Structure 1
Amino acid sequence: MTDTRSNYERMLAGDPYVSDDPEIAAAQQRAITLAARFLAEFGDDVDAAQRTGRELFGDLHETAHVRPPVFVDYGSRISIGAGTFVNYNLTALDVAPITIGAHCQIGPNVQLLTPTHPVDPELRRAGIESAEPITIGDNVWLGGGAIVLAGVTIGQNSVIGAGAVVTRDVPADVVAVGNPARVVRSIAADARAGAAPGLDGVGPGGPARDALSGESA
């Protein structure tokens, strides 16, 4: 049976598609225009910037705060929950949906990358792409410069160290650091020990302490 869907429709369905497509280009240009307006308005009229942010993103909760610049493919496939703070220079390539939960802290220069490309170079040259969604649970802290790759889910309350590269799912209530990111500590264990989860509970000189020290959301 012939697939009569447009490339944009295939992309929205999560199927492989050809990226060199006028409909896709128009949607991307819309996002570029809105992101530029969001940045321009931010310094002079925060209320106008927030209205533009709600137009750019698919679902931006009224209590969420996003600091531009932001770099997105479409914006319309990104959901940001209540009370979440997103610092400067977020790159969120939302070919597939990106869901950021409530009360998250997203550090500067974080990258959320849903697109994937074929290993076969001939298919790459043909412009074939696909994507897998990214889900960030409630109360997650992504340290500055963290990279989250396609298809990853990060469970609620977890902390991802600065510069970590998250290539697979991270469970809830843990600290994960490194490239590739690996779990180094349970936040629940820190709490039982009476430590501040993810910070004071990480021993001096340990890998998690090194990754987290000096971070700001």
Structure 2
Amino acid sequence: MTEQEKMLSGELYYPSDKLLTALRKQCRQQLDLLNATCQTEHKKRSQLLKTLFGSTGKRLYIESTFKCDYGENIHVGEKFFANFNCVILDAAKVTFGDNCMLAPQVGIYTATHPIDPIQRATGIEFAKPITLGDNCWVGGMAVINPGVTLGNNVVVASGAVVTKSFGDNVVIGGNPARVIKSIDTRVVHTTGKTS
């Protein structure tokens, strides 16, 4: 297996591999172009993102600055939005459903390292995929760690550190994140008010 194949399959790999280094460099060049493009040039920014990401919905918008490792491992649904200073380390697949929103300074990290210090010192690492369902909202400065899956309609409180997966219709927060409350989707009306 190549180092890229190992990376994408969740096995230990060396990120210093020539191909992976070249792919990250290419991604940085695309990000430099995106982040230098005026925020008012929505069509151009959208096209740059559609070229950068593995797949997208028709409508997406990301504020600058935005950073990621490869770009091609990120898949976003319809109406994706990320606010200022979002970082997605996409050494593994990162998937967003429709209508997902990321507040400023959100970090989504698939990359991780061995706990053993001798093994870690070799530079080897591994990655675990992250998935967010439809209608997820991640609050400012929240961190989503490797291997996490969030269901539909999940709200992540600002500053939360998400270390495990959660199902549908919950508000989570804290460090480590835990369920704060459930969301009863039966009582939410189109006005946004609950009854």
> What TM-score comes out, normalization by structure 1 length?
0.83
For residue 82 of structure 1, what is the amino acid of its counterpart?
E
2:129 aligned to which of 126, 130, 133: 133
Q: What are the superposed Cα offsets for residues 59-79 of structure 1, whole Å, 9 maximum, x if unpaired?
A: 122212222211101010001
1:101 aligned to which of 91, 97, 102: 97
| Contact preservation (8 Å) 1:135, 1:152 | yes
Superposed, 1:149-164 pairs within 5 Å as: 149-164=145-160
Q: What are the superposed Cα offsets for residues 149-186 of structure 1, whole Å, 9 maximum, x if unpaired?
A: 00000110011100000000111101111111110111
Q: 2:10: which partner in 1?
A: 14
Q: What are the superposed Cα offsets for residues 2-28 of structure 1, whole Å, 9 maximum, x if unpaired?
A: xxx221221122211112111110000
Q: 2:87: which partner in 1?
A: 91
Aligned partner of residue 115 in structure 2, secondary structure:
coil
For the residues of structure 2 that align with 1:114 and 1:37, how far apart are their CA atoms? 24
Q: 2:167: which partner in 1?
A: 171
CA RMSD of aligned residues (A): 2.0
| Contact preservation (8 Å) 2:54, 2:71 | yes
Note closer, same or farther for the CA distance 1:174–1:43 as it changes in structure 2 (3 Å cut): closer
Q: Count the aligned residue pairs.
A: 192
For the residues of structure 2 that align with 1:179 and 1:190, how far apart are their CA atoms? 29
Unaligned runs of 5+ in 2: none
Q: 1:205: which partner in 2?
A: none
| 1:25 equivalent in alignment to 2:24 | no
For residue 118 of structure 1, what is the amino acid of its counterpart?
P
For the residues of structure 2 that align with 1:109 and 1:50, how far apart are their CA atoms? 20
Q: 1:50: which partner in 2?
A: 46
Q: What are the superposed Cα offsets for residues 19-63 of structure 1, whole Å, 9 maximum, x if unpaired?
A: 211111000001100011011123363322221111111112221
For the residues of structure 2 that align with 1:50 and 1:117, how far apart are their CA atoms? 33
Q: Percent of aligned pairs with the same residue?
A: 36
For residue 134 of structure 2, what is the amino acid of its counterpart?
D
| 1:68 equivalent in alignment to 2:64 | yes
Q: What are the superposed Cα offsets for residues 180-207 of structure 1, whole Å, 9 maximum, x if unpaired?
A: 1110111118948xxx68xx99xxxxxx
Unaligned runs of 5+ in 1: 202-217
2:34 aligned to which of 23, 38, 42: 38
Aligned partner of residue 55 in structure 1, secondary structure:
helix
For residue 93 of structure 2, what is the amino acid of its counterpart?
P
Max radius of gyration: which structure?
1
For the residues of structure 2 that align with 1:166 and 1:72, how far apart are their CA atoms? 19
